[in-house]
Amino acid sequence: MGSTSGYPDLCDVVQCAFMTMHDERTGSEAAYEQWVKIAEACKIMQCGPSRLYEILADIEIEDPNRILKTFIFRSPNSQRGTRLFEANSLRRFMAARYAEAAQEQPDQAIASR
């Protein structure tokens, strides 16, 4: 099955604990995918780990469009693991937040007049 963008479709199957993730994307998207740990995710989002976990705790409210991609990488039968974030999804999330803030600011300026 080909892609409309001209790139071949890639389909990765990742076994993660008891969950199998199927991820379909174009070749160009796959080439730039980078998974980062909490410390690097905080640098990208310019926030602390506690704020990042607050976002995850209220993901339905904080990220209703499900922009953020994250999972916990762990061995089978393990309770602990390493949380990873897809770096570009963090950037898209912050861009969406910036756009929301930019839309709200003119409304606030009008209300304060």
For 22-49, the pLDDT digits (tens) are 455 555 555 567 899 999 999 999 999 9
Q: Do 59 and 28 lie in a common domain?
A: no
Q: Do 29 and 51 lie in a common domain?
A: no
Q: Is the residue at 47 inside a domain? A: yes
Q: Do 4 and 49 lie in a common domain?
A: no
The tally of domains found in the chain comes to: 2
Q: Strands (DSSP E) along the chain, which ranges?
A: 9-16, 19-26, 35-36, 70-73, 82-86
Expressed as residue numbers, the domain containing 19 is 1-33
- Give this prediction's pTM: 0.63
CA distance 11 to 77: 26
Residue ranges of the chain with per-residue pLDDT less than 50? 1-22
Q: Do 79 and 91 lie in a common domain?
A: yes
Q: Do 49 and 73 lie in a common domain?
A: yes
